[in-house]
Structure 1
């Protein structure tokens, strides 16, 4: 292995590690958004009455489902990215 190739792999490890950190931040943000969605949905569907609040509640539930699905997709990407970084580390 040439030193240049090793340096490129080290840079790739650093870059992918930063991207994995970004994915963790996205998962955290989506968890926060889904929690806010639960609070808004509960407020709109259980505490308030009327068609406007029902619509807000339904939109909140859709927002919750979307946040959870995206968290799963990003979690899967994080898992694959982590295994990719581990594979590169083993090569270096």
Structure 2
């Protein structure tokens, strides 16, 4: 899996997205529980990190963004490093 194939989603109650423009919030899909669905695509991540007033939401998004494809890519990276050592 590479970053272009990542389909991870995060779900937040709308109250945890304070500071985001109304038109942005309205453009997002919502769950049956009325939580907002966000992807880890750069346009969603940038808006959250720059505009959201809730520190916990920004931290959650930042950590998830940093761990994209981690499970798939760590073994590949480990193999490459070991190949370079020998």
TM-score, shorter chain, exceeding 0.5: no
Larger Rg: 1
Which one has a larger percent helix, Structure 1 or Structure 2? 1
Higher relative contact order (CA 8 A, sep 6+): 1
Normalization by structure 1: what TM-score?
0.34
Which one has a larger percent strand, Structure 1 or Structure 2? 2
